[in-house]
Amino acid sequence: MAKILKADEMSKCIGCFTCMLICSALNRKDHSIKKSCIHVRTSGGLSGKFVATVCHACREPHCAEVCLAGALKKRKGGGVLLDSQKCIGCRRCQQSCMMQAIKFDDDTQRPIVCSHCAVCARYCPHECLSVQEVES
């Protein structure tokens, strides 16, 4: 079965950004939270809760449909996989994502797309993130 990332326990989040750092380090070989596939932020103010923007693993991903180069392919279970060799850096995928889960790496001129590897969930010290099995 395929697995997808869920941010279903964000009420426990303290904003340590471990998920973002580990995602950037392991998937992008960079220690900047700007290169993470998951994005944690406050909902506003000093007493605001933290929210996470994650890929929702769409079954019919619009980002893949609008990709001019065919660099995004449907992933089993939902979401997409990026073939960075095919990508032309047009940003159409980023602009089309309703969840605003696709960010853009200005250094590589490629989108930052979650593959649901779940490394962020494994390293979250408060178990705010989880991985759920879904039918392919």
Q: What is the pLDDT of residue 7?
A: 96
Confidence check: pLDDT of 135 > 90: no
Measured between alpha carbons, how far is 100 from 95 in angstroms, rounded to an integer? 8
In the chain, the domains with their CATH numbers are 2-134 (3.30.70.20)
Confidence check: pLDDT of 136 > 80: no
H/E element, 84: none
Q: What is the pLDDT of residue 123?
A: 97
Buried b (16+ CB within 10 A) or exposed e, 69-102: eebbeebebbbbebeeeebeeeebbbeebeeebb
pLDDT digits (tens, 9 = 90+) for 41-70: 999 877 789 999 999 999 999 999 999 999
81 SS3 class: strand
pLDDT digits (tens, 9 = 90+) for 75-130: 999 999 999 999 999 999 999 999 999 999 999 999 999 999 999 999 999 999 99
Phi-psi domain of 79 (left: phi exceeds 0; alpha: psi -120 through 50; beta: other): left
H/E element, 57: none
pTM above 0.75, yes or no: yes
Q: Where does the chain show beta strands of DSSP type E? A: 2-6, 39-42, 50-53, 72-74, 80-82, 103-105, 110-112, 130-134
